[in-house]
Amino acid sequence: MGKTCRILLLFTTAISLAAVNANSQDAPSLGDLARQQRQQKAAPGKDAKPPKVITNEEIPEHTEAASLHRTGTQENAIQGSSNGPKISAEQWRSQIVAQKNQVSSLQNQIDELNESIRFAPANCVANCVGWNERQREKQQHAERMQAQLEEQKKRLDDMQESARKQGYGSSVYDP
């Protein structure tokens, strides 16, 4: 019985290998599939959209650059409004409130950043130089944000002054 089992086992193994080999010859190889995929990607159709490029300004870490862009648009609205048609009281109030919120938010970010700055003590043992370098970077970032805050406050003052010059009361330019 042992010899018959071995022969039967060899026979089924041989048939299985033949079936697997036959199936593998019908299907394209993995390398061929990869080449085909690359070629399809290299030659997109006419209706394919170009890939979206994300810049540093769109990343939340760089909010100061994005806020500069937004406030530049607000500044253009202010400059155009003092010479052009009169802006409604509600529009002034909403712009001024938005600018005040932006100033407040930036001040909070600066405060949080300043609170997180902690230089390594004199008895530091490991990685002190790297730690202190990171803290100096935070300090420089806080200084840049502080300069931006001053610009934002100046813009707020300019907005309030423009609204006052258009004849609106303090309820509009100092809500």
| Helical segments of the chain, H only | 2-26, 30-42, 63-83, 89-116, 128-165, 170-173
In whole numbers, what is the pLDDT of the chain averaged over residues? 76
From CA 107, how far away is CA 148, in angstroms rounded? 10
pLDDT of residue 77 exceeding 80: no
Of the listed ranges 51-65, 116-130, 148-162, the one predicted with least confidence: 51-65
- The pLDDT tens digits of the residues spanning 24-40 come to 556 667 788 788 888 87
From CA 143, how far away is CA 37, in angstroms rounded? 50
Q: What is the mean pLDDT of residues 131-145?
A: 90
pTM value is 0.48
Considering 59-73, 76-90, 117-131, 141-155, the range whose residues carry the highest mean pLDDT is 141-155
Long-range contacts of 85-92 (CB under 8 A, 24+ apart): 86/166, 87/163, 87/166, 89/168, 89/172, 92/159, 92/162, 92/163, 92/166, 92/168, 92/172, 92/173
pLDDT of residue 153 exceeding 60: yes
Q: Give the length of the chain.
A: 175
Location of structure tokens 């199936």: 23
- The pLDDT tens digits of the residues spanning 49-71 come to 667 777 777 776 544 444 544 44
What pLDDT was estimated at residue 111? 92
